[in-house]
């Protein structure tokens, strides 16, 4: 069996998502299964080094993950020819500069989103990779969630007929910290630290809408800072300068309308932390992270508006749960494996840094729409290249 080692510099994986999703459930899991089989006689074996600023955290993470190598010297790692991929899961404000250094060092790039804090900087990363002939990708993990895969299969099988609209509800209550500890970091709520739910979530909505339903043509956005003060990790109060909820409407290709509410100040009374409802001429579907329920035209009840009587229809009864028809890997791992195949074999990989720049663009234009209280058209970044 031919074993092809691919060195990966993993920067910023001491954070919650970097640790759990990218390291433990993706790279460490692939290593634990003796690598990724890419051909009958060939295996790609990740060879990571964990990079960060806190040596104690890195040592602890190595013990937890089984990874042997760590470093607090990013420049030394970038200078090492044994490492082929640079991965970045740092906080948003640090990402673009580190990715630029990695590009200059000739590393293939795979990084979290948003890829930068503004569209020109995000596009610059893509241009630099293209000019240097480097493979590049951005994390767009939700495309591999079971719930979204099931919606994709319904679209592929023309279940919906003509899709009319998409409605997404996302969010939960993030505790302020006065009595119950917050479950998100304080920088998320400071604009000066690139916080805010618009920059956090719009890149997600961009790739979900673009990939599943059609390119976004325009956006109208209203946001708010509903909670003005929270408590930070040291127990000190701080003023919230970034928005914690956003309410947006999008026009997609083929006249599809999407409405998305994203909030860290809402309480959940729905099937999941995120639900996606798709309505079409022949049927509808509602998906969460894993499950998906459908209602075909022939199973659609015929309600009559009459507020003077008890509603005789139980609307939940007329939906059918889609059974499990295929196996679903961890969403982050699924994309990691595709990117590793892209680097090792040159296989196609659609989710490059240009797609990452589109997510940053949508966040910027959503902020502009909110500030100017108007509809904003979304120009094509491909045409601007």
In this model, does residue 384 exceed pLDDT 70? no
Residue 344: give the domain boundaries: 2-142+331-352
Question: Residue 385: its pLDDT value, please?
Answer: 63
Within this chain, do residues 287 and 221 fall inside the same structural domain, yes or no? Answer: yes
pTM of the entire predicted model: 0.94
CA torsion 356→359→365→370, rounded to 10°?
-140
In this model, does residue 87 exceed pLDDT 90? yes
Within this chain, do residues 304 and 221 fall inside the same structural domain, yes or no? Answer: yes
Within this chain, do residues 91 and 226 fall inside the same structural domain, yes or no? Answer: no
φ/ψ of residue 256, rounded to 5: -70, 135
- Distance from C-alpha of 155 to C-alpha of 258, rounded to nearest angstrom: 16
Tokens in use for 121?
């900087």
In this model, does residue 1 exceed pLDDT 90? no
- Distance from C-alpha of 260 to C-alpha of 270, rounded to nearest angstrom: 15
In this model, does residue 383 exceed pLDDT 90? no
- Distance from C-alpha of 52 to C-alpha of 72, rounded to nearest angstrom: 5
Within this chain, do residues 294 and 227 fall inside the same structural domain, yes or no? Answer: yes
Average pLDDT estimate for 178-185 = 95
- Distance from C-alpha of 169 to C-alpha of 138, rounded to nearest angstrom: 24
The answer to whether position 383 is within a domain reads no
Question: Residue 34: its pLDDT value, please?
Answer: 95
pLDDT in tens, 315-364: 999 999 999 999 999 999 999 999 999 999 999 999 999 999 999 999 99
Within this chain, do residues 216 and 72 fall inside the same structural domain, yes or no? Answer: no
- Asked if 23 and 31 count as a contact pair (C-beta separation under 8 A), the reply is no
Within this chain, do residues 161 and 303 fall inside the same structural domain, yes or no? Answer: yes
Within this chain, do residues 224 and 115 fall inside the same structural domain, yes or no? Answer: no
Average pLDDT estimate for 13-25 = 95
Instruction: Report the mean per-residue pLDDT for the chain.
Output: 96
Within this chain, do residues 245 and 348 fall inside the same structural domain, yes or no? Answer: no
Within this chain, do residues 233 and 286 fall inside the same structural domain, yes or no? Answer: yes
Question: Residue 93: its pLDDT value, please?
Answer: 87
Question: Residue 382: its pLDDT value, please?
Answer: 85
The answer to whether position 380 is within a domain reads no
366: helix, strand or coil: helix
Within this chain, do residues 116 and 237 fall inside the same structural domain, yes or no? Answer: no
Within this chain, do residues 219 and 85 fall inside the same structural domain, yes or no? Answer: no
When divided into structural domains, the chain yields a total of 2
CA torsion 354→368→169→272, rounded to 10°?
60
């Amino acid at each position: 069996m031919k074993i092809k080692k691919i060195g990966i510099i993993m920067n910023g994986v001491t954070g919650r998502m970097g640790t759990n999703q990218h390291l433990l459930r993706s790279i460490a899991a692939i290593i634990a299964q003796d690598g990724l089989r890419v051909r009958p006689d060939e295996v790609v074996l990740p060879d990571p080094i964990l990079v960060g600023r806190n040596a104690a955290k890195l040592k602890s993470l190595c013990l937890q993950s089984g990874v042997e190598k760590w470093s607090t010297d990013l420049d030394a790692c970038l200078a090492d020819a044994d490492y082929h991929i640079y991965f970045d899961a740092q906080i948003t404000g640090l990402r673009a500069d580190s990715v630029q250094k990695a590009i200059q060092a000739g590393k293939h790039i795979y990084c979290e989103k948003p890829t930068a804090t503004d569209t020109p900087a995000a596009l610059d990363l893509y241009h630099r990779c293209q000019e240097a002939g480097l493979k590049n990708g951005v994390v767009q993990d939700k495309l591999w969630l079971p719930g979204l895969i099931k919606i994709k299969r319904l679209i592929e099988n023309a279940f919906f007929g003509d899709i009319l609209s998409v409605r997404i509800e996302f969010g939960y209550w993030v505790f302020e910290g006065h009595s119950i500890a917050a479950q998100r970091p304080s920088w998320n709520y400071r604009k000066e630290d690139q916080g805010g739910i618009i920059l956090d979530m719009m890149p997600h909505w961009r790739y979900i809408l673009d990939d599943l339903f059609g390119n976004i043509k325009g956006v109208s956005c209203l946001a708010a800072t509903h909670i003005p003060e929270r408590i930070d990790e040291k127990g000190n109060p701080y003023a919230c300068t970034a928005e914690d909820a956003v309410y947006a409407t999008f026009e997609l290709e083929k006249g599809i309308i999407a409405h998305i509410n994203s909030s860290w100040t809402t309480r959940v009374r729905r099937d999941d932390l995120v639900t996606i409802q798709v309505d079409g001429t022949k049927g509808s579907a509602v998906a969460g992270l894993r499950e998906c329920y459908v209602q075909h035209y022939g199973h659609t009840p015929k309600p009559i508006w009459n507020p003077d009587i008890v509603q005789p229809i139980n609307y939940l009864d007329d939906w059918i749960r889609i059974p499990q028809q295929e196996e679903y890997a961890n969403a982050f791992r699924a994309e990691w494996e595709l990117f590793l195949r892209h680097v090792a074999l040159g296989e196609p990989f659609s989710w490059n840094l240009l797609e990452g720049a589109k997510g940053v663009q949508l966040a910027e234009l959503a902020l502009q729409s909110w500030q100017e209280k108007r509809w904003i058209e979304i120009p094509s970044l491909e045409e601007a290249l």
